[in-house]
Structures are given as structure tokens and as C-alpha cells.
Amino acid sequence: MAQEVHGMVEKRGAGLWLTHVFMILGVLIIFFPIWLAFVASTVTQPEIVRPPMPLWPGDQMWENYSKALFSGVNVPVATMLVNSLVMAIGIAVGKIVISLLSAFAIVYFRFPGRNLFFWMIFLTLMLPVEVRIVPTYEVVAGFGMLNSYGGLIFPLIASATATFLFRQFFLTIPDELAEAARVDGASPMRFFWDIVVPMSRTNVAALFVILFIYGWNQYLWPLLITTDPEMNTIVMGIKQMFPSGDDVAEWPVIMATSILAMIPPVIVVVSMQRLFIRGLVDSEK
Amino acid sequence: MQKRVTFRGWWLPALLIAPQVLVSAVFFFYPAGQAIWQSLFIPDPFGLSSQFVGLGNFEFLLSDRFYRASFGTTAVFSILVTLCSMIPALFLAVIADRLIKGSGVYRTMLIWPYAVAPAIAGVLWLFMFNTRVGVVSWYLGNLGYDWNHVLNGGEAMGLVVVASAWGRISYNFLFFFAALQAVPRSVLEAAAIDGARFWKRFWTIVLPLLSPTTFFLLVVNVVYSFFETFGVIHTITSGGPQQSTTVLVYKVFSDGFVGQDLGSSSAQSVILLFVVGMLTIIQFKFVEKRVHY
């Protein structure tokens, strides 16, 4: 009986096939831009500039990718990949570390100005970097941090989403644990390292996935502060590979670069899917 | 909510919050304050001194034809991006939800575009619709439609909308799918026994139960299309043709960095600040209350 009712709601013979057909069609349409980019990164320039280009991969994959990675257009793509990696990991680790510390302070201490501090960081939730770009640029320039990893990383750490997340989580840690630690004479930092940090492992991992992608995919900020091609990140550097004026773009190399630019975040998202979805739901709700 | 058990002392917590306070003060509060301060001045052409103009920059902006046009552009753009990313996502989620087996595989495939940066998405779509080499524009040409987003503002808008919505379909799909999985099966089964067909069940039971998720996604997608689509617009159209794709954030950038008009750019930042503030308040007010009809 249960089986029959189940069937009534979920699927019905031909309907099931139709459902799969719709689903596959949807996936194909959504995938098409990525597939086309991949094909373009495996064929020669003449095959692309005389449309229509082929829809099946060619045999130039090795040539195009090694050309992109080791010579690129302005700067080898390998350099840009390293810059993106440093920036993404720097933002993720930096934000997680400062948020763990400050959330611990807010939740486990009563100190003067605690509420003021709380509202202060609440404000930072509201203002994305896009809104304050000009003055932030001036600050970073004033510190001489243009074209540096510090300049790429710090302004993007200055938001309190992660602090809020950790605060919510710390509030769910049973009071008995802190009580026991206090009775045993453990110092607050001891409690932090031995109890709080290990318990936050999953949250930290989920947040890392989200922040890594956030950092990797930044565009406007690196565009403003990295004038030296050696410091370009791959996501912003790809636009610099298009020639100005009427020259024809080197499409196979550009498309190989765009595939290279999406590989790290895609690996992170697909391989850590569970954590990723958890992080997404946590950080937005 | 507060902890009953806390630790004593004030210098340790002060030390613990110091990094965040420092980073926020230097890279957030000071620049945000500067934006508000600068919005009250007009710098002279040499940048040597500036003159206090009060709300002059705002008055000028709000009477500026181009700025008002940019508001309209942003409204159209964000409504279209929100619709184009939510409707296909809901459709795919409803279908995936009907499958007992295999929905995990489809989900993995559909997550991909989320990981693709907006700027890269811009490059991919530009490549497909490129006026010289684009595959899609070539086939459109064969069908007798002359695609040219470099000259045609409407086509340029269409292209940046689709390129911006594309990656968001994954995001919205995940939320809709999770919400659909949470709809109690017993209710659906009861309706099915009473003879309600699939679409009837969808309109009368499923969609109302999805309203909190839908509303949450509406706000989040509008915020996304306001602030995170800069990369798409910069790579595909650079705001053109004739400013037809210059959204507010793009204008802050082009006036502030390309045009070097700091006063106006700061005033625009302050206006955007209000817009974000409003959206955040709406989000908190309604999402917390959980919309239910």
C-alpha cells in the first residue's frame, strides 16, 4: 500500500521518462557554455575565427594549455593561478581565524563595550566592498599595498558574516562544557583550543568552501589594485587578455584560461558538495 | 540569548577582538566614513582642495539624466536577472524532486555553474554571442536574425542578464530543491488520494509551502544582481552601448575611477548604501517572520 501511494506522488510510467528527459535537457542547456569553452580550448585559432566552430574537441589541447600556462598573453597563467590561490586561501583562512577569536570573545566573556562591538560588526554586514571602493582604494594606496597580497586580502576580510555564524554556533555548545573546564581550572584559551575549536570543525570546513569561492571569484577589487600584470588574479586577468582595438583575440588561449580559472572552484564545490551546501545554507540564513 | 557560564577578565577578550576591530576600522569604517564625508564636497580639477557643497552632489545626481537612467537600467536588470534565475531553477527543482533515484547525479551536474566566477561567465557568454566568431550569433545569422549586442542596447541587456542569471540557477536550484524535499510527503499523498493531479498539488500545496524560500531567494537575488554582477557587465559590454547596461555599481566605478569624479562617485556610494540598508532590513524583517500565506 505504502509503495503504491508513493508511486502515485513520485512517478508514473511514461511520466518518469519524461522527467528524466526534461532533467537531461536542462543539464545540457546549462552545461553548454562550459562545453563550448572546453571545445574552443582544444582547437586552432583558424577553426574558431571562421565560424561556425566545431562542437567536438580537437587535438590542440596540449598546445593551447601549455601556451596559456607558461607564456599567456601579458603574463603566464600559472602566475595568475598562484596569485588567485594565495588570495582565496588568504581570505578564507584570515576571515575564519579573526572570526573564531572574536566570536569566542563575544560569547564567553562579559567585557565593557561588548554590545557596542556587537553592533559595530553588525554594520559591516551591510556594505559590500563595491560600495566603498574609492575610499578603500585610497586607504590601501596610502599603506603602499597596491600590487600586494595584503592589499588583495585585507579589505575583503573586513566583514562579519563569519563572526555571526560562529557566534550562533558557540551559543549551542552546552554550558556544562565551559563549567567543567572552569572547575578543572583550565584557562579560557585552553578551553578554546581543546573544546571550542575541535567542535567547530564542520562549520570551519563549510565556511572555508564558501569563502574560498568568494575569494577566488573576486573581480572588481583585484582589477583596481593590481596594475602590475605579475599580481593579476586569473579571474580578472582574463579580461586583460583581450586585445584593445580591432585585433582578433587569441580565443583558444583565452578559453583555455577560462577553463583553468574554473577548475579549482569547481573541484572544491563538487568534491565537498555536502559541506558546500551546508555552508551556503548557514551563511545565508 | 546569552551564556550562563562565562570567563572573567577584560584584557583577554580585548586581545581576541583586536584583529577584527583593527581590520574593520581600517578597511571598513574609515573608508565608509570617507565615502559619506567626500559625498559632501566637490574637489577642484587638480585635486588640491575641495569645496563644501552640502547635499549638492546628491541634488545634482538626482537631477542628472544619466544617473536616473542608470536607476531604471538597474531596476530592469535586477528584475530580469531574478526572474531568469529563479523560474528555471524552480522548474528543475520540481522535476528533480519527482525522481527517487538519480537526483543526486543531476544535482552534482547542476552545481557547476555556481563555481564559475561572474567575470568568467561573462567571457563564456561573450564567446557564444561574439559578433565575429560566436556560434550562437552565427546560427542566428543563418536564421536571418542579425545579432549585434555591440550596437543594440536591448540585445546587450539580454546578454548580460542571461550571463548573470546562468550561475545563479545553480544556487536557486539548491535552495528550492532542499525546500521541496522538506515538504511533508503525507500531505501530498493525502491530496493525491483525494484525486488532486500533479499541477493542482503544485499550485495549492507545494508553492505556498515554498513561500519562505521564494521570498528569501527574491531578496538574495536582487542583492546579487545589484552588487556581484559587475564582472559580467565589465567583460561583456563595459556598460555600453550608450550606457544601456550601466547599472549603479558600474557607474560608481566608471565615475570614480575612469572619470575621476570623486564627489559624485562618493554620493553614489552613499545612495547605494541606503539601498543595501533597505534591502537588508526587508530581508531581516520578513525572512525572520517566515512568510506564509
B85 → chain A, closest CA residue? A30
Secondary structure element (H or E) that encloses residue B43, with its range = strand B41-43
Of the candidates B163, B177, B179, B76, the one whose C-alpha atom is nearest the C-alpha of residue B125 is: B163
Domain residue ranges in chain B? 64-289
Mark whether A192 and A275 lie in a shared domain.
yes
Confidence of residue A10 (pLDDT cuts 50, 70, 90): low
Interval A83-100: pLDDT, tens: 999 999 999 999 999 999
Mark whether A96 and A45 lie in a shared domain.
no
Lowest mean pLDDT among A281-285, B151-155, B251-255: A281-285
Interval B68-107: pLDDT, tens: 899 899 999 999 999 999 999 999 998 888 876 777 788 8
For range A205-226, the mean pLDDT: 91
Tracing cell 532590513 back to the chain, one arrives at B281
Interval B25-66: pLDDT, tens: 898 888 888 888 888 887 766 666 777 877 888 888 888 888
Mark whether A102 and A117 lie in a shared domain.
yes
Tracing cell 543526486 back to the chain, one arrives at B104
Mark whether A229 and A129 lie in a shared domain.
yes
As for how many domains chain A has, the answer is 2
Mark whether A210 and A160 lie in a shared domain.
yes
Residue numbers of the domain that contains A59: 2-70
Contact A132 B31 (CB under 8 A): yes
Mark whether A66 and A83 lie in a shared domain.
no
Q: What is the pLDDT of residue A15?
A: 73
Specify the CATH architecture of the domain B64-289: Orthogonal Bundle (1.10)
Secondary structure element (H or E) that encloses residue B288, with its range = helix B262-289
Q: What is the pLDDT of residue A226?
A: 92
Confidence of residue A33 (pLDDT cuts 50, 70, 90): very high
The domain spanning residue A217 has which CATH number?
1.10.3720.10
Contact A10 B26 (CB under 8 A): no
Strands B50-52 and B41-43, by their bridges, are: antiparallel
For range B244-267, the mean pLDDT: 84
Query: Shortest CB distance from A261 goes to which of B33, B98, B120?
Result: B120
Mark whether A151 and A241 lie in a shared domain.
yes
Q: What is the pLDDT of residue B50?
A: 74
Angle at A253 between CA B136 and CA A211, to 5 degrees: 90
Q: Domain end: A70, A98, A129, which one? A: A70
Nearest-CA distance A75 → chain B (Å): 18
pLDDT surpasses 70 at A14: no
Mark whether A181 and A56 lie in a shared domain.
no
pLDDT surpasses 50 at B251: yes
Q: Domain end: A47, A70, A93, which one? A: A70
Share the mean pLDDT of chain B. 85
Contact B113 A117 (CB under 8 A): no
Mark whether A166 and A122 lie in a shared domain.
yes
Quote the CA–CA distance of B175 and B179 in Å, as a whole number: 6
pLDDT surpasses 50 at B265: yes
pTM: 0.88
Contact A270 B112 (CB under 8 A): yes
Confidence of residue B286 (pLDDT cuts 50, 70, 90): low
Query: Shortest CB distance from A105 goes to which of B13, B88, B171?
Result: B13
Mark whether A170 and A243 lie in a shared domain.
yes
Interval B201-223: pLDDT, tens: 888 888 888 888 888 888 889 88
Tracing cell 547599472 back to the chain, one arrives at B247
Q: Domain end: A70, A86, A106, which one? A: A70
pLDDT surpasses 60 at B290: no
Query: Shortest CB distance from A262 goes to which of B102, B108, B115?
Result: B115
Mark whether A36 and A20 lie in a shared domain.
yes
ipTM over 0.90: no
